Amino acid sequence: MLDKRLEDAFNDQINKELYSEYLYLGMKAIFADLNLPGFVNWFDVQVQEERAHAMGMFDYVFERNGKVVLEAIDRPDIKGSTPLEVFEQVLEHEEYVTSRINALMDVAEEVKDRAALSFLDWYLKEQVEEESSVGGVLANLKLIGDDKKALFMLDKELAARVFNPPVIG
Ligand code: OFO
């Protein structure tokens, strides 16, 4: 059985993962408008990953005989409109998600739920990978600047990203 505080914290994070899915869906639409299909594909994979993250926690709460409570998902707050501005926000958002996973682990630690801590380890590692891959795209965009040809090449590269359903936990 999950401690109530931990159950609430999991529900809060499920909402944040669903918000991430929604945010990236909004960003996918921006790149569709910009006619950059590789970036569209990159965000499509990201959307699927966020859904998988949310469902991983959703299923885990049930597995622990807890109760899932779904709240409203906020409207995606997308600040920029250029590839560089959007990716700056993606990195900022992923860093925020990392801080929320750490906070969730703090609650698991406080209620001494070692099983939950071990489950959440996967999410922490996933965040390290996400921050690194997003940071890589962002670094490329900074190098590219206004070079349209280089942006076209990066778009081709991002078209190769594929969604591999993660094995969580
Ligand atoms: Fe699911 O997190 Fe990265 O975001």
Q: Would the CB of 13 count as within 6 Å of ligand 1? A: no
Q: Are 159 and 38 in contact (CB under 8 A)?
A: yes
Give the residues of the chain that fall short of pLDDT 70.
none
Q: Output helix, strand, coil percentages for the chain, rounded to the nearest 5.
A: 75, 0, 25
Number of helices and strands (H, E) in the chain? 5, 0
Q: Would the CB of 21 count as within 6 Å of ligand 1? A: no
Cα dihedral across residues 57, 126, 51, 166: positive or negative: negative
Indicate yes or no: pTM above 0.85. yes
Q: Would the CB of 20 count as within 6 Å of ligand 1? A: yes
Q: Residue 1: what pLDDT?
A: 87
Pick the residue whose CA is nearest to atom 4 on ligand 1.
94
